[in-house]
Amino acid sequence: MRERIIVRLTATPEQSAQRQACVLQAGREMGAGRSERRALNAQWDERVMTLLENGDWAGIEGISEDEIVREGGGSAHETRNWIAAFAAASGRALTVRLRWYRAIPELIAGFGVMLRVG
């Protein structure tokens, strides 16, 4: 996998099908509570969303990289994306008109939406 990413090799159809089957099985296992993967951390996701909604950059800056990886788990990269997106919106508190979050273990992901004005 690492070489394929670095060298930009395209997966064969067989490799893609095998990876997809593995991901689907992992989602079934997580949804059934039989997974060895770490469970989603909805409280972590909600905490980060609240800090961002409030423009609490001191709170965001207080989160270490280790904490992001430990608490955000497999979705730690998404935490970084949210922080970058809000920082690009000038780093100030924004009026959030709609906030929605749902952990969906079968998809091995939590989904959050924040619609804002400001």
Angle at 38 between CA 34 and CA 40, to 5 degrees: 100
Residue appearing with tokens 């993967």: 37
Asked if residue 58 and residue 31 are part of one domain, the reply reads no
Asked if residue 89 and residue 33 are part of one domain, the reply reads no
Domain span at 64: 39-118
Q: How many CB atoms lie within 10 A of CB 83?
A: 19
The continuous run of DSSP H or E covering 28 comes out as helix 13-31
Please give the model's pTM, rounded to 2 decimal places. 0.75
Comparing CA positions, the residue from 94, 53, 45, 95 lying closest to residue 72 is 45
37: its two tokens? 């993967």
Asked if residue 59 and residue 44 are part of one domain, the reply reads yes
Count: domains in the chain: 2
pLDDT tens sequence across 67-96: 998 888 777 788 888 888 888 876 566 678
pLDDT tens sequence across 25-61: 988 998 898 988 888 888 999 999 999 888 898 999 9
